[in-house]
Amino acid sequence: MINNVLLAYAALLGLAAALRMRYRTWFALLLATLVALGLGWAYVRDARVVARAPAYTQDLIAGLRARPWPVQPAELAQLIASLRALNDLRDANALQPLYRLQVAHGLAGEPVEQFSSVSEALAWTPPPKPGARSTPWSEEMRTERRALTGMLEAQAPRLSGWPPDLARDLPLKADASEIAPGVWLSPAPENHRVGTLQFPVSVHHRGAGAIAAAQINVVVQDPSAADAPGGRRPIFSCHAALRDLAPGETRVFGCALPVSLGTDRRPLQRVLDNIEAFRAGTLDVHILGGGTLDADLLKVPQADTLIAPELQHLEQLKESDKQALARRNAVEPYLALWLGFGTLFAAGMVFPGLRRGCLSVPATLALAAAGFAAALLGGWVLGTHTSGIAGWEPIVAIFSAFEFGMPFIGGLLFGNLLYLRQRVAQK
């Protein structure tokens, strides 16, 4: 770099000898050059030149947030795909529970939430429920549970004998006896005054989406006791755990009810009558519980974006930013260095201009020594505040003194030279 400074100074001397311009003209040209270097340095460092893509990305994200809320899951999937394409994962992830909520509402036959814009949906919090969390995720889980139980229908079929599927998974005890069509009684081994009635119950999947797992209670109630104090109590309930239930599929499970087997046969007959009423459809049957729908049913599908042309333009801006950044990295250090050298050169050139004449030899030597000392001190301070070069401060200071002191001394001598030549020319 010192060689470059010397070559530049020699070229400047050659131009001064050839052009024979006055001091003011040279100083004005130097200032104009510094201004041009400064403008070029500021331009290559301008974030608007090397980072247009991020600003455009934020504009696109703001435009998506201002869009009307899509009421169809397919449109919401496109919105989520658009946000992912813009790398806005926070908003995209925040919308996934709302997508699952829309699907669950559709399966449950319920209206979906209405919002004025996407921004309103992102800030939405479901109405609080006593003892329950109030988040889009928790609301989606409750809606999924309603959808799951609403898609199931329970009946008690009249079957002859114990169904083969139940014989494999829930075999009857050896002492079990069929006391009514499809109803089997097993006395308790430790107490023959009580026993267990078992009969098959079928669950039909009448919905549109597959169920991965369901833990349900089939609750049977008397419709005539709707106005009873404290609400209706179940006549009996049956528990079942089902897995991988496809739409239109029917599964059979065994329902076990405890009964009294004392001398009074009325309790046993009452249970048998309730089972028969259940089979006849004269009782109210509700399915409670929960589970999970098939994961693919609630998963946000791959979808086309809503802003394909804008994304194409964004890719062009990213490539343009990449090229602009490469240009800045290649040019900016040199512009900054020559801007600094030029400023130091102009600073040295100012002193003859202030006197409007050639400085004396002692004054020139004093100013040159002061400039060299200032550069030396600056290099020392820089070395002490830079990590990784401990012990090298004197070397750094000496290099800084020569590298940054020489342009100042060169400007000082060049100003003297111009005024000296003007004085010679006037004689």
Q: 318-361: per-residue pLDDT in tens?
A: 888 888 878 777 777 788 878 888 888 888 888 887 778 777 77
- 59 domain residue, yes or no: no
pLDDT category at 310 given cuts 50, 70, 90 is: very high
Residue after which a domain boundary falls, among 88, 118, 149: 149
Mean pLDDT computed over 88-108: 91
- 210 domain residue, yes or no: yes
- 326 domain residue, yes or no: no
Whether 140 and 160 share a structural domain = no
- 118 domain residue, yes or no: yes
* Alpha helices per DSSP H over 113-265: 118-122, 136-150, 164-169
Whether 368 and 402 share a structural domain = yes
Least Cα distance to 199 among 249, 156, 250 occurs for 156
Q: What is the pLDDT of residue 229?
A: 47
- Whole-angstrom distance, CA of residue 226 vs CA of residue 391: 93
- Whole-angstrom distance, CA of residue 424 vs CA of residue 427: 6
Whether 162 and 269 share a structural domain = yes
Whether 285 and 157 share a structural domain = yes
Determine the structural domain holding residue 133 and report its residue range: 68-149
How does 67-100 read in b/e, with b if 16+ C-beta sit within 10 Å? Answer: eebbeebebbbbbbbbbbbbebeebbebbbbbbb
State the chain's mean pLDDT as an integer.
82
Give the DSSP per-residue string, 70-122: P-SHHHHHHHHHHHHHTT-HHHHHHHHHHHHHHHHHHHHT-PPP--SSHHHHH
Whether 279 and 168 share a structural domain = yes
Q: What is the pLDDT of residue 84?
A: 95
Q: What is the pLDDT of residue 18?
A: 55
Whether 200 and 256 share a structural domain = yes
Statement: the pTM of the whole predicted model exceeds 0.75: no
- Whole-angstrom distance, CA of residue 331 vs CA of residue 343: 18
Query: pLDDT exceeding 90 applies to what percent of the chain?
Result: 26
Query: pLDDT exceeding 70 applies to what percent of the chain?
Result: 83
Count of the separate structural domains present in the chain: 3
